[in-house]
Amino acid sequence: MTAIPESMARPRSRFWRKLRANPSAILGGLLVAFFVLVALAAPLLPVPGPAETDWLAVRKPPSAAHLFGTDEIGRDVLSRMIWGAQASLLAGVVSVLIAVVLGVPLGVISGYRRGWTDAAISRFTEALLAAPFLILAIALAAFLGPSLRNAMIAIGLAAMPVFIRIARAQTMSVMTEDYVESARAIGLRHLPLITRYILPNIFPPILVQATLTIATAIIAEASLSFLGLGQQPPAPSWGSMLNTAKNFLEQAPWMAMWPGIGIFLVVLGFNLLGDGLRDALDPRDI
């Protein structure tokens, strides 16, 4: 049997091969997988509950009993890190889902219909883009009230314009392709044309953007919780842990160390994975 030439390999297998050959993408994938596993397995892991206080072990440095040390009211920092991973990942994924579910249809309609609709949606997008991500999220959290749910809504709305823009640009370029032209020529209706021909073809760049936006959203959630506008205590979140830790820097520096390392690693994971996906999905260099 002769090997199939590179250019004839199916796009999907080419994608996997390129992704697997990229060490930083693999590192990113492993980091993401690790945190997802930890977050899912949180109830099964042999650690004290995240809200269990031990007044005999207040602000104790890392030891065999408490691997990551304890916080200002004797809670196990490792346990709060593990449960905090749930809040971070949930916030990252849910807010990006909100942004994708609202943003992509708007972008597709905008690029598909052009004209008036496009102008209106574009102005709307610009107006949303005009408020910096965090300022918009802070303002929304202020008016909606501080909670993890509202932080996710605020981050999702703030992240939406990017997806409108990408979906719009991609739709416009796909619309000029021959297969879309011919599908229209044989009289396919709008909805089947969009779901069968346009959506599958604009999916790759949206997947890349979504992966990278999860990274931004996790930082945004941590920032909001750090400011006291996200996850409310005593529920654990890396951002709010840092907020408390700031007051005990001299006595208990480990309290500030772990949440930061956690955020850094999970965000790095999504960034590496997103960059890797972009390279693997790029049709230009095979």
Partner 1 sequence: MLTFLARRILIAIPTIVLISIFVFGMQKLLPGDPVLVMAGEERNPEVIEFLREKYRLNDPIPVQYATWVGNAVQGDLGISLRTQQPVLDLIAEKLPVTIQLAVMALIIALTIGIPAGVLSAYKKGTWVDWLANIVALSGLSIPNFWLGIMLILLVSVNLGWLPASGYRPLADDFWLSLKTMLMPAFVLGTALAATLMRHTRSAMLGVLQSDYVRTARAKGMSENKVLVKHALRNALVPIVTVTTLLFGELLAGAVLTEQIFTIPGFGKLIVDAVFNRDYAVVQGIVLCTGVAFIAMNILADAAYRILNPRMNE
Q: Which residues contact 258 (CB under 8 A, 6 or more apart)?
A: 68, 77, 78, 81, 241
Burial annotation 181-209 (CB, 10 A radius, 16+ → b, else e): eebeeeeeeeeebbeebbbebbebbbebb
Of 199 and 223, which has the nearer Cβ to partner 1? 223
**Nearer of residues 39 and 141 to partner 1, judged by Cβ:** 141
Nearest approach, Cβ of residue 194 and partner 1 (Å)? 26
Query: Can you tell me which of 242, 273, 277, 280 binds partner 1, judged by CB under 8 A?
Result: 242
The interface with partner 1 within residues 251-270 (CB under 8 A) comprises 253, 256-257, 259-260, 263-264, 267-268
Residues in region 109-148 near partner 1 by CB under 8 A: 123-124, 126-136, 138-145
- Candidates 35-43, 162-170, 186-194, 218-226: pick the segment binding partner 1 (CB under 8 A): 218-226
What is the number of helices (H) and of strands (E) in the chain? 11, 0
Is residue 152 a contact point for partner 1 (CB under 8 A)? no
Residue recorded with tokens 């599908």: 183
Residues paired with 76 in a beta bridge:
70
Q: How distant, in Å, are the alpha carbons of 27, 30, 109, 273 from that of 13?
A: 20, 20, 31, 18
37 binds partner 1 (CB under 8 A): no
Q: Taking a C-beta distance cutoff of 8 angstroms, is the pair 59, 248 a contact?
A: yes
Q: Which residues bind partner 1 (CB under 8 A)?
A: 123-124, 126-136, 138-145, 215, 219, 222-223, 226-229, 242, 245-246, 249-250, 253, 256-257, 259-260, 263-264, 267-268, 271-272, 275
